[in-house]
Amino acid sequence: MKNVFIIGVGLIGGSFALDIKKQKPEYTIFGIDKSEDHLNEAFNLGIIDGKASFKDLEKADLVIVAIPVDATIEVLSKVLDVISEEAIVFDVGSTKEDICLKVKHHPKRRNFLAAHPIAGTEYSGPKAAIHGLYKDKTNIICEVEETAFKLQERALGLFADLGMRIRYMNPKAHDKHIAYVSHLSHISSFMLGKTVIEKEKNERDIFDMAGSGFESTVRLAKSSPAMWTPIFKQNKTNVIETLDGYISNLKQFKQFIEDENFEAVYNEMEATNHIKDILKGIS
Amino acid sequence: MKNVFIIGVGLIGGSFALDIKKQKPEYTIFGIDKSEDHLNEAFNLGIIDGKASFKDLEKADLVIVAIPVDATIEVLSKVLDVISEEAIVFDVGSTKEDICLKVKHHPKRRNFLAAHPIAGTEYSGPKAAIHGLYKDKTNIICEVEETAFKLQERALGLFADLGMRIRYMNPKAHDKHIAYVSHLSHISSFMLGKTVIEKEKNERDIFDMAGSGFESTVRLAKSSPAMWTPIFKQNKTNVIETLDGYISNLKQFKQFIEDENFEAVYNEMEATNHIKDILKGIS
């Protein structure tokens, strides 16, 4: 393996580039991005060795597609059309069902591995790329049996080098679970930020009064709308289900307060404290 | 000033004890706590110099009331009854209206300063006490004009020594603002935790799939129900108002997804990204 192409040189793609470069200095890393500015920025930051375009993909050994999930759906078949029989392509999208469906019958389906590294920050763009982003993180692989065994091995070898844990899942289960543990967190955070901003016209009041608790709950409201809109679109049904559950729990909690049933309020919180033990497994 | 009494030797009271002791080694710090275990723990951890009871408060120069807000309402008048004319008492509660109302007509009202240091972690108990918790944090003082000037000075001197910024506010405004920037965050976090736990019966899935995003949004769901239940009770009206706003924003966001109005979904998130600039002022 020599030529690595990263499509989308932002936080996720850029961080792959940095770690691959560190592990394998002999590889050449090319960037492809619809934003010429991002491409220049990634080059100037030393994240990529060169700028490339789609036609160059024919010489790729590895292609990482790290762009918003709607763009992935658009681009993935074109990538598979161009690459050689020996190349492996993986995506990193936060939805898997639509993406797998899109390339289901592509003649080069076996050159594709559907992946979702559970890693990231609330920042975006090449400047947000960091070393070691993937260390000790889970990478969910979907429909592994659809990928050629030799090519699987190559991708899995890279994930192991980067320190990732692998979990296998079918795309439908992935999209359902991830709606709960990731997509809902983002919406709850965005709407919390919105509710507070609407009310607190005087911003000085927000940051004088807000402690680290507020900061951590609204952190995800800094996330990129360009990345998240297509995720909610592709995972619409599951996301709506999580929102129904969340809104109904909030309403019930409100009702307990209205009814002055503070024993129930206490019990709701105590039962959820159990999240402590669950979180010990994360990070 | 020599004798400092801390009522409630948990995270908040214990952290005051640690910092005061560091700044003023000549002070003696006594702990009062309804839990004998906590009191022993605080003593063994070197957080307090001695264990005391209410009758000892007559020799206090400073009393810090750092217990849940319902207990504060119960205890505060009794503390004022016992202390000398020269002592200053402050509380640290996350609600201010009911507490100020409770002692409004107490003959020693001028010995009390209503305070709310915006500081804490999601942990509780003496073991959770840490050095430097109050550095660069905001301390909201309510009805400052009701406290004797000389005694105000003493408390404010201590807050300055601990590195705190002071903001003055009336109790009603405090309770309204804090409902948005703190109480709502806690409920959103508890209910997020609840929604995910309900759905994800297999906990292994939660921590394998959850990234740092989920972790930061549910962090507050580790908080103590014993502390938070009375806060929601005392700040009932404001908390319900914030929940109404929050639930209605969530419903609207869900509606946009259902209607496939993804331009609106994008715009909602983009408008809230502005929280980035606001958060720069925090932490």
Q: What is the pLDDT of residues B108-117, one digit of tens each?
A: 999 999 999 9
| Same domain membership, residue B245 and residue B227 | yes
**Domain encompassing residue B69:** 3-170
Q: Which helix (H) or strand (E) is A237 found in, with range? A: helix A236-258
Q: What is the pLDDT of residues A48-102, one digit of tens each?
A: 999 999 999 999 999 999 999 999 999 999 999 999 999 999 999 999 999 999 9
**Residue B283 has what pLDDT?**
46
Share above pLDDT 70 across residues of chain A, in percent, rounded to a whole number = 97
The answer, yes or no, to whether residue A153 has pLDDT greater than 70, is yes
| Same domain membership, residue A49 and residue A163 | yes
**Most confident stretch, A218-222, B205-209, B245-249:** B245-249
- Separation CA A209–CA A194 (nearest Å): 17
- Separation CA A228–CA B272 (nearest Å): 13
Question: What is the chain B residue with the closest CA to A246?
Answer: B195
Given A122, A149, A169, which residue is the final one in a domain? A169
Q: Flag if B222 and A140 touch (Cβ within 8 Å).
A: no
What total number of domains does chain B contain?
Answer: 2
**Residue A282 has what pLDDT?**
52
Q: What's the alpha-carbon Rg for chain A, to the nearest Å?
A: 21
- Separation CA B53–CA B107 (nearest Å): 22
Sign for the pseudo-dihedral over CA of B171, B173, B179, B181:
negative
Given A124, A153, A169, which residue is the final one in a domain? A169
Question: What is the chain A residue with the closest CA to B194?
Answer: A272
Mean pLDDT of B228-234: 97
Contact in structure between A168 and A144 (CB atoms under 8 Å): yes
| Same domain membership, residue B184 and residue B84 | no
Q: Flag if A193 and B272 touch (Cβ within 8 Å).
A: yes
| Same domain membership, residue A210 and residue A145 | no
Q: Flag if B182 and A210 touch (Cβ within 8 Å).
A: yes
- Separation CA B166–CA B136 (nearest Å): 10
**Residue B58 has what pLDDT?**
98
Contact in structure between A90 and A65 (CB atoms under 8 Å): yes
* Unique residue bearing structure tokens 């995270």: B11
Dihedral, CA of residue A142, residue A146, residue A150 and residue A155, to nearest 10: -20
Dihedral, CA of residue B160, residue B166, residue B171 and residue B174, to nearest 10: -130
| Same domain membership, residue A154 and residue A54 | yes
Sign for the pseudo-dihedral over CA of A31, A35, A39, A45:
negative
Question: What is the chain B residue with the closest CA to A240?
Answer: B254
Closest CA to A257 of B220, B221, B229: B229
**Residue A280 has what pLDDT?**
74
Residue B258 has its nearest CB partner, among A205, A221, A240, at A240
SS3 content of chain B, % helix, strand, coil (to 5): 60, 15, 30
The answer, yes or no, to whether residue B217 has pLDDT greater than 50, is yes
| Same domain membership, residue B166 and residue B184 | no
Split at pLDDT 50, 70, 90, the class of A201 is confident
- Separation CA A35–CA A9 (nearest Å): 9
CATH number at residue A49: 3.40.50.720
The answer, yes or no, to whether residue A283 has pLDDT greater than 60, is no
What type of residue sits at position B152? Q
3-class DSSP state of A104:
coil
| Same domain membership, residue A164 and residue A181 | no
Segment among A253-257, A272-276, B124-128 with least mean pLDDT: A272-276
Q: Which of A250, A260, A276 should be substituted to probe chain B, the one whose Cβ sees the most B Cβ atoms within 10 Å?
A: A250
* Unique residue bearing structure tokens 């100037």: A44
| Same domain membership, residue B141 and residue B18 | yes
Q: Flag if A210 and B118 touch (Cβ within 8 Å).
A: yes
Split at pLDDT 50, 70, 90, the class of A216 is confident
- A177 CA to chain B: closest CA distance, Å? 8
Residue A191 has its nearest CB partner, among B199, B204, B253, at B253
Split at pLDDT 50, 70, 90, the class of A279 is confident
| Same domain membership, residue B241 and residue B160 | no
Contact in structure between A152 and A113 (CB atoms under 8 Å): yes
- Chain B CB contacts of A177 below 8 Å: 200, 205, 209
Mean pLDDT of B167-188: 95
Q: What is the pLDDT of residues A17-47, one digit of tens each?
A: 999 999 999 999 999 999 999 999 999 999 9
Residue B278 has its nearest CB partner, among A207, A228, A271, at A207
- Chain A CB contacts of B250 below 8 Å: 187-188, 191, 243, 246-247, 250
- B259 CA to chain A: closest CA distance, Å? 10
Q: What's the alpha-carbon Rg for chain B, to the nearest Å?
A: 21
Mean pLDDT of B84-101: 98
Residue B220 has its nearest CB partner, among A217, A262, A283, at A217
* Unique residue bearing structure tokens 């050629």: A148
pTM for this one? 0.92
Cα–Cα distances (Å) from A243 to B165, B183, B239, in that order, read: 39, 21, 21
Closest CA to A147 of A89, A77, A65: A89
| Same domain membership, residue A129 and residue A21 | yes
Closest CA to A47 of A14, A81, A6: A14
Q: Flag if A199 and B180 touch (Cβ within 8 Å).
A: yes
The answer, yes or no, to whether residue B212 has pLDDT greater than 90, is no
- A238 CA to chain B: closest CA distance, Å? 11
Q: Flag if A232 and B182 touch (Cβ within 8 Å).
A: no
- Neighbour-count burial of B177, counting CB atoms closer than 10 A to its CB (0-12 exposed, 13-18 middle, 19+ buried): buried
> Chain A to chain B, count of Cβ pairs less than 8 Å apart?
316
| Same domain membership, residue A260 and residue A208 | yes
- Separation CA A60–CA A70 (nearest Å): 23
- Chain A CB contacts of B204 below 8 Å: 281
- Chain B CB contacts of A205 below 8 Å: 177, 181
Cα–Cα distances (Å) from A222 to A123, A226, B15, B99, in that order, read: 7, 12, 31, 36
| Same domain membership, residue A55 and residue A88 | yes
Tokens of A186: 């983002």
Q: What is the pLDDT of residues B15-56, one digit of tens each?
A: 999 999 999 999 999 999 999 999 999 999 999 999 999 999
- B230 CA to chain A: closest CA distance, Å? 8
Q: Flag if A209 and B240 touch (Cβ within 8 Å).
A: no
In DSSP notation, B243-279 reads HHHHHHHHHHHHHHHHTT-HHHHHHHHHHHHTHHHHH
- Separation CA B246–CA B242 (nearest Å): 6
Split at pLDDT 50, 70, 90, the class of A203 is low
CATH number at residue A187: 1.10.3660.10
Given A109, A142, A169, which residue is the final one in a domain? A169
Q: Flag if A279 and B215 touch (Cβ within 8 Å).
A: yes
Mean of all residue pLDDT scores within chain B: 94
Question: What is the chain A residue with the closest CA to B251?
Answer: A247
